[in-house]
Structure 1
């Protein structure tokens, strides 16, 4: 089984660290992390070409590689820092472009979980998690959150960058680990 982690940040920092923490709980599976900052993604223009031609986007950019990876995955963990109370624009662009996958329900029944990080406590983490949840639910994915001992809406952390290093709160790191644990439990339950 394969788990894909998507770093929706414009850089490789605290969100990536949290995704890697979650993947430590999934060492028995094939895992991969991609960072959207490594790809060029154009905006979805809702031209409806994908609806007319079976789910193929006519815009040729980095999306096709990400789309392939999402199709191949059994589970997807999406991470985003909080940008003005929600997900990054880059991640929103990916979500909009994933309309191609909804044409044929290609993400349906894949396990999905969310991780986020903000600069302050109560800095928009729950709203960011909800934006990721909405995307997963619209695709018919099996949405999971973190599990015991944290059990809320997903991985949610507070991070500060000090002298080029990211300092992430221990509880936030634990929520990321709990996300990985829950994805593992659900994958085993539904996939054997």
Structure 2
């Protein structure tokens, strides 16, 4: 440290303080680097947590808790709210897919007796059209398809309503019955 490093020096009866230019800049840079690392790691961990164990393992309550804890870390590091929202959004495609899958699991495909309906089902769910996350039908398209095949039961309708709300508002209609 040299005299050039001292930006401001105060000496009085009640106060002794000094502001150092280089250390202030280094501290700001370190905080910015820490925020950047935390954002990157939070995105990865939230995404990994959402994607893992979707058919077993950690329950949705624990997943919500983990995401909440990571959000708190970002808030404590003074990461802006818009960035935190963007970080948390990485789970949306996975959860969207899970809601659609929950509808499919409730459908009784054994009720399809007409070969044309079976063919329509197979075509609709063909891997040429539906090959993973991001290729699932939206709730309106899926409901119309299921209605045309007369496959909507009370349970299927409940799950379609859950899926529709999540699709439109990114909210859980029945948080105690999330499909992940």
TM-score, structure 2 as length reference? 0.23
Larger helix share, 1 or 2: 2
* Structure with more relative contact order (C-alpha pairs < 8 Å, separation 6 or more): 1
